Structure 1
Amino acid sequence: MKYLIFAIALVLASCAQKPTKGTSESPVVARKDSQKAKLTQQTVILDVRAPFEFNMAHIPGSINVAWEDFSRRSPDYRGLIEKDLHPIARRLALVGIDPQTPVLVVGKGLAGKGEEGRVAWTLESLGIQNVQIANVEDFRERRESHEMQNKTFWTPKLDESMFIGWDELRAKIEGTTYFPSKARRKSLGAGALPIKDEYYVVIDVRSKEEFSIDNLNKRTPRQFRFYNVDWREFLTENLDPNPAIMKTLNEMGISQNIEINVISNHGVRSGTVTWALRKLGYTKTRNFAGGYEAVRFNKK
């Protein structure tokens, strides 16, 4: 008899209504507990993958962009940020981004070419204060209700501490004085004078294979502090800035007080590294956005 009662109890338990699952307040749910991206209903998600990959599968509500959308069209200088910033700011405002908007940039992670970090570096250069990056594969494609709200057009102001131009970088490498403008150079009425600048380094963040084929040392006989460190070493698998790189830099004699100038082919991977290093406290890190494509040494 007691076995019959036990069987009936099991049947009744299986028929009982299951408790309702609560919904998450976060618009996107991370797959990995170690993922540090903090998301709110106000977060705008930018997806930097190719349009085909984005259309195949993406986080609902995310917006497909390319790093080139914020750069010049000239083939020789496509790594440089567009001169006229107002059209960029208007486009960002139309998708709900202003300087206070939290933004998450997602892409292919370490399997890509640093596009997430390049866009993050660009946005921060324009004054966007809260930008994160992540691998799109670290998120389930589920998003709570999210309505895109346009923001009021805002006036961007480029943070010049985030990048270095070729004229200035070349002056450092060649040991000459950098004059900010042709007008000032003409007013001084003399050629550039030699200077001694020991408080800067240049880091090439391309692969060892690319570095072995062509690098700044092969383009100029000038000796300067120049290193090759692959861009992936500056990030964790979750695209967080990698604290382990600080030990590597310390062994090279690179402290947080030294100006670090970062270079890659088009300023994409170097933009990612600049973004990561500044998050780690290397606030004097600058991206040479033009990359090797814009390197032009004077031929004598």
Structure 2
Amino acid sequence: MPEYGYFLASEEHDPAALVEQARMAEQAGFQALWISDHYHPWNDAQGQSAFVWSVIGALSEAVSLPIETAVTCPTVRMHPAVVAQAAATSAVMTGGRFRLGVGTGEALNEHILGAPWPPTQVRLEMLEEAIQVMRRLFTGEEVTHHGRHYTVENARLYTVPDEPVPIDVSGFGPKATALAARVADGYITMMPEEEMVTRFRKGGGGTKPVSGGTKVCYGTDRDACVRTVHELWYNELLPGEMGQVLPSPRHFEQLQELVTEDMVREKTVCGDEVDEHVWALRAFTDAGFDRVYVNQIGPDQRGFFDFYRTKVLPQLTG
């Protein structure tokens, strides 16, 4: 039986709202939390982007659910030695209920310090080296590392959990999935594609957990939900590599006209048809995922949690 979790959107909600949503998620019967790690939102309409590590500290006191970043980029904006300290502290505060989800990131968040935005292959190399550095630091031993991309001198984490923080790798293509299969403690991807799960498992991932997530917009007025998605999360439907290479929210806003409301209606679950919500999550289960996370787009968070508590989760977990 897969686990079903809630995906907290740091881009759309302020810290207090995220903590309250986590409480509602636990009360509704969700079993875990994802939280996004961004410096910028995708567009100004979303309007938020808090420092995720502060929010995780608050979540650790508010709920007992496992928490994972989905995902952190430990390569450009933050040095892996600093991410390792943040992750280790989060694991201690949650009593070992923290996983570190990592990926190669987006220019939107990572280019802010003025460093060049590397091509995909270089970013994958940087991610692999970053994982090596963080795993060494999680031991609590002193680390000195002189690598191709990172230098660490006499670094030691004094606050570490009893067990090393699990590191899951996000991948949307064959190269990233191969990296996840080779080095990760679990695999993250956002489409319910059985082929990618199989590639991960056969490439060395074996029985390690595979996690996926999706966004929906619950509401009693389907058309209003479509408009909400089109206003806030049209970026989800942009084609190609734009999500990885565009440098600022205004660049994403310039492309909103590429996404129509009809595209949203076709690609995103909107409204209050129970079967549509159940099908969207079961698609991940059928593709072999172990954990499935869902995010509610828009302000009607309480209505969403009531809907999932009474009508959706019982069909998925019963």
Same fold (TM over 0.5): no
- TM-score where L is the length of structure 1: 0.29
TM, length-normalised to structure 2: 0.28
Higher Rg: 1
Structure that is richer in strand per residue: 2
